[in-house]
Amino acid sequence: MKLYYSPGACSLAVNIALHEAGIPFDIERVDNKAKVTKSGEDFWGVNPKGVVPVLKLDNGETLTEAAALLQYVAARKPEAGLMPKAGTMDYYRVQEWLNFIATELHKQFTPLFKEATPGDYRIIAKENVLKAFALVDQHLAGRQWLVGDSYSVADIYLFTVSNWGRFQDIDVAQWPNLNDLRTRMRARPKVEEAMKAEGLIKPATA
Ligand SMILES: N[C@@H](CCC(=O)N[C@@H](CS)C(=O)NCC(=O)O)C(=O)O
């Protein structure tokens, strides 16, 4: 399969999940402004929504929406333990967090990255982001991960969107429990591999 990505965007979550699951895949960088891929494909033709992430599956189908892709990847390699067993309460808890991260964090960040967003609305969007991070931080008190005792795709998605704080003058270190989760994430070799693959971390020079 092939992941269409833009460095550090929400597609990083899918990249990390694929690395964690140990699924072989290709990556294709997308110029999100020009809507063209590294190999010259018209990105509108790949995804009429014009956004990453996109997974092109081996049968040629494409699948979009970060929360759906994360669950798809987790289900391809259940032994990687990225998603609790379907139908359990923890399974719905992970879905609850995926939806929260998608709507209350990811999509509240979106207008902050758009030049045309008016100043008044920037204030509202930023407040929404701050409120959502504070809530996540409260939930994480005394916990290692968002759901139960297990690392899941929800933690991967949270880590990815919390990386965007630095572009919006939001210091995520102000939330100690979130900060600890981020430190645990950064210590995972597969997270580092995925970040290196997107050029977000430079490989160590010999
Ligand atoms: N609903 C989509 C949204 C994806 C999305 O917002 N992608 C951003 C990067 S994080 C993007 O590609 N933006 C390009 C644009 O808005 O032109 C999802 O959840 O996957």
pLDDT one-digit tens code per residue, 6-54: 999 999 999 999 999 999 999 999 999 999 999 999 999 999 999 999 9
Confirm or reject: Cβ of 65 under 6 Å from ligand 1.
yes
- Cα–Cα dist 38/122, whole Å: 32
Going by the DSSP 8-state scheme, the letter that residue 2 receives in this structure is: E
Q: What is the mean pLDDT of the chain?
A: 97
What 3-state DSSP class applies to 8?
coil
- Cα–Cα dist 64/55, whole Å: 7
Tell me, what's the pLDDT at 145?
A: 98
Tell me, what's the pLDDT at 139?
A: 98
The single-letter code of the amino acid at 18 is L
Q: Chain centroid to CA 186: how far?
A: 14
**Token pair listed for 104:** 């209350």
pLDDT one-digit tens code per residue, 134-156: 999 999 999 999 999 999 999 99
What 3-state DSSP class applies to 178?
helix
Q: Is pTM, for the whole model, over 0.95?
A: yes
In this prediction, residues 99-104 reach a mean pLDDT of: 98
Burial 147-170 (b: 16+ CB within 10 A, else e): beebbbbbbbbbbbbbbbbeeeeb
- Cα–Cα dist 123/112, whole Å: 9
Confirm or reject: Cβ of 99 under 6 Å from ligand 1.
no
In this prediction, residues 165-175 reach a mean pLDDT of: 96
Q: Which of 15, 51, 69, 71 to mutate to test the pocket of ligand 1 (most atoms within 8 A of CB)?
A: 51
Tell me, what's the pLDDT at 202?
A: 80
Confirm or reject: Cβ of 62 under 6 Å from ligand 1.
no
Tell me, what's the pLDDT at 61?
A: 97
Terminal alpha carbon distance of the chain = 32
Tell me, what's the pLDDT at 56?
A: 98
Res. 205: pLDDT tops 90: no
Q: Which of 5, 6, 10, 161 to mutate to test the pocket of ligand 1 (most atoms within 8 A of CB)?
A: 10
**Which residue has the least CA distance to atom 15 on ligand 1?**
51
Res. 206: pLDDT tops 70: no
Atom of ligand 1 nearest to the CA of 30: 12
**Could you tell me where the DSSP H helices lie in 58-105?**
66-76, 89-100
Q: Chain centroid to CA 123: how far?
A: 23
**Token pair listed for 78:** 């259940």
